[in-house]
Structure 1
Amino acid sequence: MPTPTPFDSLTDYIALPRVEAVALSPDGTTAVLTVAVLKKDGTGYERALWAVPADGGGTPRRLTRSAKGEAGAAFTGSGDILFVSARPDAEGDADDESGQLWLLPAAGGEARAVTRLAGGVDGIAATASASDRVVLAASLLPSSETIEADAALRAKRKEKKVSAILHDTYPVRYWDHDLGPAQPHLFAVEVGELADTIAAVAEEAVGDAAAADADAGASAADPKPYPATLPRPRDLTPRPGRTLDHAEAVLTPDGSTLVASIEVREQRAGRRAIVTIDTATGERTTLFDEVDVDFEMPAVSHDGTRIAYLRTVKSTPAGPTDYEVWVAGIDGSQPRRIAADWDRWASSLAFDADDEALIATADHDGRGPVFRLPLDGGAPARLTSDDFAYTHVAVDRTSGDLVALRSSWVVPPHPVRIRRDGTVTPLATPAPSPAAPGTITEIETTAEDGARVRGWLLLPEDASAAAPAPLLLWIHGGPLNSWNAWSWRWAPLLAVARGYAVLLPDPALSTGYGLEFIARGWNSWGAKPYTDLLAITDAAEARDDIDESRTAAMGGSFGGYMANWVAGHTDRFRAIVTHASLWALDQFAGTTDSSEYWQRIFTPEAMLEHSPHRFVADIRTPLLVVHGDKDYRVPVGEGLRLWSELAEHHADDEGRMAHRFLYFPDENHWVLKPQHAVVWYETVFAFLAEHVLGQEPARYELLG
């Protein structure tokens, strides 16, 4: 009898605590974890900050506790902890629920608010290692010239219940939220100027009383002065338009210069450029900007003299382009490419402790290792050799070690220390890894063109030749992606706990196998990605512990596209689950939140040739269609049209079908609310049980 695990119960699973981020103190002794736990009512997650020793010993210590939670932890140069929270501010308005910047002193004491912006703080953009200057991201309404004017205009819109947005640029939404009317800005804040004395508070109270007397007859929406006891945010990016929607920023150690990757708008698209901004004067200098090229992911050396960045020529239907790693002087001088023969795409960059190399992460052969890229032209070296993927890598300059989160498909994210010799030591955590059901092994095959295609195969503990397990082919999204890291949303262990073997393949277009492997599926999604999936499914089904007569397929986003394509081209699967899926590519390309990209990487002919909707009449397998109405990357129109055309071609005289449509009116691309994740999995497993295991149809109780 298999040992019970939290994956046997969806209630237990969603209640598992989750480590979401790690930040390292300037002296390298303390790691601060952002940990999410399920709310008492089971409808969301609350986040708190925990401190753990960064050397692998000790025990976790909780730092924050509030009903609104905390996130986005970062350290100032003096070791104070910054975070963003919507917790109540004793000196602010009682009904203000916007997230603000807070500071927890390293010397002890309670956290206090650093900002009181009407629209709140979007996040911490950058901190300086040798200064208490911080740059934060916050949004202002486009006609607001000051933070006071923004507060007044927001109050007026709220009073009149106006939610309308007037756009003059594209796009108008992103993933799961509308863009505007406010526009992101970058503000410099001197947290060292935070006044925290009784005299300062009394002075502000006197000022507030005088202002109240002077403005007794004024409207509540009139501008009010920004609190004198708080350091005034200094706008570094006035009138930004939409150039800072996805800005990436880093400060020099002394906090004097902000290096940022921003967007240069071009019709309905844009390119990324790298600029520097003097944080005292706001003076901006463009370092790198080329037509049809993106400059992204800036990093600054510890001595403040150099920057590293990615340079990527925009892809076209002819093929994908490489992610080039470059370094230059802090003023943009003497730019040069490094690691030119490294056929991997860096997902993060940081300077090593001695500034003589870059520390990078990248997908690699179904894993996500840490690499060292020498600046002197030496060959890249892989620092970690295990089966994990690493994120949130921070460099401890005092020792040269690294602190990071790592995960795999059987171990959720947890903090670790990586020694210079590659030895990995787990750190203490308030969210210990749960026991995983079954086993995980690699599987690979050779595609029809000779390419190696590999993936992970998760097996139930009792799978054997005498009791072969049903197989679930799970296709990843992206498509520029790899099955190499834990996902709380897509959790194959939940299927393993229910007796399924789960195949997680990386077909053509997957990252971590080189540019040529990606190019095999470029501009032809229905060709080699499809045949790769069938080939590796054949290899899995050839095992004696797999029941080839009981197989199903599922996927989300691009995986949903492939699920639809599979449904129209083979009847080998007993059931198919297609989540947030692309159905009619010509329709999708014009309605997604980033239409220019999709229309740029496909030829019109390939978009039509590889569109699943053309094969709806050939579908013979029951489909479970899942879509959220707030999905702006793959708009709900894709799911609605798929459902309509399934009914057109496959409904009986009374309109009934073997297919099902699970619709979430208030969910996005992923379906993130824990109670809805339960509905999702209950419905998926009931659908699979009916068609793969031969069980009676079942309907989750809360679906009515």
Structure 2
Amino acid sequence: MSRRLEPQDLYAIKLVEDPQIAPDGERIAYVKAEIDRQTYDYHRSIWVITVDGTQGRRYTAGDNDTTPRWSPDGRSLAFLRAPAGEVKPKNEDERDRGIAKAQLWVLPADGGEARQLTRAREGVGEPEWSPDGAFIVYSAEVGEPDDPEAEDASLHDRRVPAVRTIDRLWNRFDGKGWIYERRSHLFRIAVGGGEPEQLTDGDWDDGSPAFSPDGRQIAFTSDRSEERWSWPANDIWVLDVPTKRLTRLTDETVYAGSPAWSPDGRRLAFTASPRRHEDGYTDLMVAQADRPGSVRRLTENFSPTFADTCIDDQRAFHGSPHLYWSPDGARVYSQAAGRGATLIYAAPSGGGIPRAVVEGQCRVYGFSMDRERRRMALAISDPSTPGDLFVQGTAEGGQTARLTDLNDELFRQVELARPEEFSFTGAEGWDIQGWIIQPSPHPNPHPQAGEGKSERPPAILEIHGGPMAMYGWSFFFEFQLLASHGYAVVYTNPRGSTGYGRDFSAAVSHDWGGKDFEDIMAGLDAAVARGWIDPQRLGVAGGSYGGYMTNWAIGHTDRFKAAVTMRCVSNLASIFGTGDLDWILTIDMMDGVPWKNLDWLMDRSPITYVEKITTPLLILHSDRDLRCPISEGEQMFTALKLLGREVRMVRFEGQSHDLSRSGHPRSRVIRLRHIVGWFISHIRTEVIRPKGELARAGAAGE
């Protein structure tokens, strides 16, 4: 008999990450990610499996091995190895060797001893092989700390508070902290060993390296514009390795993703979005490798955006898509997100309508292709699959074959609910996509569950962050958890969401709390009108922009019996200057600054309407959230407490904006317990838990 999904089941979830198919297309290396329940550490190991799924084994022995990359001849595998938990160097020698950071290793493909190639003080990333297999290029940070004595104090068992002197606007980044002290540059190292050679330098960051087919050039991303510390972005640059000559191909108006060379070495493909005034759309572009200003957009009127913008709670941001050219240079393969699905498309390199190569109701969150572009290794999630490995041929009509089922044991015990897609009419008659997850049948209902039972279940309206992102056909633990406890879950993609074309995603700009709110409420109204949910038992929840909209909703309607706001925005004036990139929100997204447009920003700030809030509110916020600083949640908590309203705040120490996706495992589980416990305590469900049980378990982190 199946049981109900519980918050602690998150500890059992295993995921496939970064699938890399060998050049000959016969084997796939991938990362298996899981949680060590005893230490609360994330463990990652590299596995290799044949494409027919008959032979699979663990390939590396480390506890945090990632980023597998096959050599061009398929005889070696490069990867990054780092400690699984927090490791602090004991002395200057350990610090300088980077023992606490990710380092580059190489391992024979058929087994043998792994060799460590780098010992960089700040660690390394983004390894890429040269075409002849003789070198590996990578990125690494260089530079001195602002306050060396304070940084090194722990090496001598002392505590010295740092004193920071800051003279640039962009100086922090969520999930990382201070970024103004060091710069990321490109290095190359011989596979046989030796000292690395630094290839780039300067007061800017270089990354995403890609060798040209002849190995003489390296394309990479870098922002060397005058605006790099105020409106950060990336251009495409080309380095001629023998002469060190540099060429910038883009015009400093775009935010470019990782470049990919055409087979003849004459063109580069990359994705790009606007540097300023983001419209939520990422284009696929091509440029002549030797001609600045030759950039062509391939995807002018294509609705899916060329980025994986699908949101779930199993993985954080994955960067720009890795692009692949067909052997004849006629097509470029890329991920693109549209109508709730992230799929693989083949776009004609001369322009034209892209063709879906991998289809279905799913999220392809990682992929790679073999040398001849005959096969693809795919990391796929769908509503019943947190993240597994698949393989598919590129020929038309190719079938996707599943190679792993990492969560089979867990899902034999619990029953998952399947989302049902629906559409409805939003503001101005726009067609909007949404989903509803109906509550799972409870295997052992409480004896009181039948008393006063409604034919229609209670429902939680979930609102996604971004706002330029999308809900879709991916596994969402939080949604399944709510469904297993008796709640329907309604979630939609209102205007501002990605995947429906440039105009749709751009429509939210300068209008937070306007027609986007109308769209969201119209989706809820549609679910009520179709008889799916009980209009008297409604809750609302959301994070980031979804937290803003949760706050906004309960300040403009009393329809909800309970609300959960996470990593929220409450005041569009006070967030200015307190986060890592908040000036972009107020200036580009809301067209205002506090000293000129205070009335406008406050008019669209949920805190302005706090006196109207009567809905019991749970506030979840991380104290190291630099994207939406914790002061945003504190303002809501303080105001509601002073007004005598029901409010509770849960603070997560040491966690960032991505708590729900990649935060400390124990904190993630406790977060889930608070969410479901809050709704159970305020909205009757046919699944009744003894009072206090969830709170006690949550406090213990069990």
SS state at 1:418 partner? strand
How far apart, in 2, do the equivalents of 1:74 and 1:546 lie? 49
How far, CA to CA, are the matches of 2:510 and 2:25 in structure 1?
A: 46
SS class of match (1:700): helix
Distance 1:110 1:596 in 2: 50
**Partner Cα distance (2:299, 2:627) in 1:** 33
Matched, 1:63 2:59: yes
| 1:501 corresponds to | 488
* Partner secondary structure for residue 341 of structure 1: coil
Cα distance change on mapping 1:332 and 1:390 into 2, 3 Å: farther
Q: State the alpha-carbon separation in 2 of the partners of residues 191 and 469 from structure 1.
A: 63
Q: Is the 2:669–2:698 contact (alpha carbons within 8 Å) kept by the matching residues of 1? A: no
Partner residue, 2:22? 25
* 1:450 correspondence with 2:429: yes
* Partner residue in 1 for 2:696: 700
State the 1:485 CA deviation. 5.0
Q: Who is 1:176 aligned against?
A: 175
Q: Is the CA contact 2:105–2:114 (under 8 Å) kept in the aligned structure 1?
A: yes
Which residue of structure 1 aligns with residue 401 of structure 2?
Answer: 426
Whichever residue aligns with residue 121 of structure 2, its letter is: A
Q: Contact 1:52–1:427 at 8 Å: present in 2 too?
A: no
Question: 2:540 touches 2:564 (CA, 8 Å); kept in 1?
Answer: yes
Whether 2:113 is the aligned partner of 1:110: answer yes
Contact 2:140/2:187 (<8 A) preserved: no
Amino acid at match of 2:246: R
Q: TM-score, normalised by structure 2?
A: 0.85
Q: 2:128 aligns with which of 123, 126, 129?
A: 126
AA aligned opposite 1:268: S
Corresponding residue for residue 350 of structure 1: 324
Q: CA RMSD in A?
A: 3.0
Whether the 8 Å contact between 1:352 and 1:395 is mirrored in structure 2 is: no
Aligned residue number for residue 6 of structure 2: 9
Q: Does the CA contact (< 8 Å) of 1:410 and 1:493 recur in 2?
A: no
Matches within 5 A, 1:242-253: 242-244=204-206, 247-253=207-213
Q: What letter matches 1:343 in structure 2?
A: S
Matched to 1:168, the amino acid is D
Measured in 2, the distance between the counterparts of 1:614 and 1:300 equals: 51
1:483 is matched with which residue? 471
Note the alpha carbon deviations across 1:209-242, whole angstroms, 9 max, x for none.
xxxxxxxxxxxxxxxxxxxxxx21111122x334
- Determine helix, strand or coil for the equivalent of 1:590: coil
Alignment deviations for residues 566-597 of structure 1 (CA, whole Å, 9 cap, x no partner): 01001111111000000001111321201332
- 1:75 aligns to 2:74 (yes or no): no
Aligned equivalent of 1:631 = 625
Mapped to 2, the partners of 1:675 and 1:142 lie a distance apart of: 34
CA distance change for structure 1 residues 667 and 533 in 2, over 3 Å: closer, same or farther? Answer: same
Q: Match of 2:314?
A: none
Q: Offset of 1:48 from its aligned partner?
A: 0.4
Aligned-partner Cα distance in 2 for 1:701–1:279: 58
Equivalences for residues 619-658 of structure 1 within 5 A: 619-649=613-643, 651=644, 657-658=645-646
Structure 1 residues 385 and 108: alpha-carbon distance in aligned structure 2, compared to 1, 3 A threshold? closer
Q: CA 1:687/1:42 → structure 2, altered by over 3 Å: closer, same or farther?
A: farther
Question: Deviation at 1:516?
Answer: 2.1
**Alpha-carbon displacement from aligned partner over 1:634-661 (angstroms, at most 9, x marks no partner):** 0111111111111222x2xxxxx42111
Identify which of 356, 359, 379 aligns with 1:382: 356
Inter-CA distance 182–125: structure 2 relative to 1 (3 Å threshold)? farther
1:689 and 2:683 are equivalent in the alignment: no
* Letter of the structure 2 residue corresponding to residue 82 of structure 1: A
The alpha-carbon deviation at position 107 of structure 1 amounts to 4.1
Q: Structure 1 residues 576-585 or 44-53, which shifts more?
A: 44-53
Equivalent residue number for residue 543 of structure 2: 556
Instruction: Tell me, yes or no, if the aligned pair for 2:268 and 2:288 is still in contact at 8 Å.
Output: yes
Judging changes above 3 Å, is the alpha-carbon distance between structure 1 residues 450 and 612 closer, same or farther for their aligned structure 2 residues? same
The reply on whether 1:288 has 2:290 as its aligned counterpart is no
CA distance in 1, matches of 2:570, 2:270: 36
The unaligned stretches of length 5 or more in structure 1 are 145-149, 195-230, 652-656
**Contact 1:495/1:502 (<8 A) preserved:** yes
8 Å Cα contact 1:185-1:237 kept in structure 2: no
Cα–Cα, structure 1 residues 153 and 645, in superposed 2: closer, same or farther, change >3 Å? closer
Matches within 5 A, 1:542-691: 542-598=529-585, 599-604=587-592, 605=597, 606-649=600-643, 651=644, 657-671=645-659, 672-691=663-682
Cα separation, partners in 2 of 1:103 and 1:153, compared to 1, 3 Å: farther
Q: 1:181 to 1:478 in 2, by over 3 A?
A: closer
Q: Which residue of 1 aligns with 2:291?
A: 332
**Equivalent pair of 1:132/1:192 in contact (CA under 8 Å):** yes
Whole-angstrom distance in 1 between the partners of 2:15 and 2:280: 35
- Check whether the contact 2:435–2:491 (CA below 8 A) recurs between aligned residues: yes
Cα distance change, pair 32–182 in 1 and its aligned pair in 2 (3 A): farther
Structure 1 residues 422 and 492: CA distance shift in structure 2, 3 A: farther
Query: What aligned pairs does 1:216-235 form with structure 2 within 5 A after superposition?
Result: 231-235=194-198
Q: Kindly tell me: are residues 23 and 153 of structure 1, through their superposed partners in 2, closer, same or farther at Cα, counting changes over 3 Å?
A: farther
CA-to-aligned-CA distance 1:428-467 (integer Å, 9 cap, x gap):
2262455351222101111131111111211124399974
Structure 2: stretches of 5+ with no match in the other structure: 88-92, 308-320, 443-449
**8 Å CA contact 1:119, 1:151 repeated in 2:** no
Query: Taking every aligned residue pair, what percent have the same amino acid on both sides?
Result: 26
Question: In the aligned structure 1, how far is the partner of 2:132 from the partner of 2:149?
Answer: 36
Q: Deviations over 1:548-576 (max 9, x none)?
A: 22111100001101100001001111111
Structure 1 SS opposite 2:535: strand
Contact 2:578 2:629 in 1 (8 A): yes
Counterpart in the other structure of 2:510: 523
CA distance in 1 between partners of 2:119 and 2:582 (Å): 37
